[in-house]
Amino acid sequence: MEPAWTEKAERYLSGEMDARERALFEAELLVNEALRHDLELYKSIDKTMSSTANENELRQTLKQMNEKYFAGTGIVKKGNFMKWMAAAAVLVVILAAGYYYLLPSKPAADKLYAQFARHESLNLLQRGNKTDSLAATAAAAFNSKKYLEALTPLQEYLKEQPDDIQARFSLAVCYLETGAHADAEKIFSSVESGPTAYAETAKWYLALTALKKKDIPGCRKYLENIPETSPYFTKAKELLVKLPG
């Protein structure tokens, strides 16, 4: 593209031309094949970036490339239209072949859950009464990660010992691991709002529940509300950085 047309193309695409100038430019497009080609390339690149879930990251990377290699301060810089398109074309090829060669991919929600969901062992007090058998059965199943098997003895145990916060919390974990997310959230929310030693843990588990459901916005919201004083603050910040989307 000739230098004179470069600036006009930039103004045309950014909508800066008045009606008369735009009409003249479009008349030139009818007879200038090279100019049409350059404009179509730009439109194709812009459409590709707009359709990707990582549009902002891609545009930011393109902006950084332009600033680094073309000494510009924005994605499109006067006099660098063709250079910008060349850089963008390279990025689009990378995007088609695998965008995350350029921007490393973030783990999927299920992989993040497996990484961050580390449940404490269940150790129920032996009280020397009929709940001992239930407590032992529940703890054995829970600690062996047999969460479905642990559900019934935990439910029966809590009928006898409704104030056992550890058992109640472990029941919520069983619900979480067996897909009963609403039941898990109900318990975690109750514990989080109460004056127990598990309140901060419940905040963290509400985030994990959202993550298990692949509710990324909800997970992010819970994580952002974990205070600096929480023992889960560092984990929350780490998980926030790794969340997809």
pLDDT band at residue 1 under the 50/70/90 scheme: very low
pLDDT band at residue 242 under the 50/70/90 scheme: very high
Place of tokens 């009409």: 23
Q: What is the pTM of this model?
A: 0.58
Enter the tokens of residue 47: 């459409």
* pLDDT score for 16: 84
197: DSSP letter = T
Long-range contacts of 211-218 (CB under 8 A, 24+ apart): 211/109, 211/112, 211/113, 211/116, 211/239, 211/243, 212/109, 212/113, 212/117, 212/176, 212/181, 213/181, 214/109, 214/110, 216/109, 216/243, 216/244, 216/245
Average pLDDT over residues 154-178: 95
> Is it the case that residue 4 has pLDDT exceeding 90?
no
Average pLDDT over residues 33-48: 71
In this predicted structure, which of 36-45, 132-141, 153-162, 173-182 has the lowest mean pLDDT?
A: 36-45
In this predicted structure, which of 3-7, 122-126, 180-184, 218-222 has the lowest mean pLDDT?
A: 3-7
Average pLDDT over residues 192-202: 92
Angle between helices 33-51 and 3-13 (to 10 degrees): 40
* pLDDT score for 34: 76
Q: Which amino acid is at 50?
A: S
Tell me the pLDDT tens digit for each residue of 80-94: 555 555 555 555 555
Cα-to-chain-centroid distance, residue 217 = 7
Note whether 174 and 193 are within 8 A (CB): no
* pLDDT score for 65: 55
How far is 76 from 63, CA to CA, in rounded Å?
Answer: 8
Enter the tokens of residue 207: 């985030």
Contact partners, residue 89, CB within 8 Å, separation at least 6: 41, 45
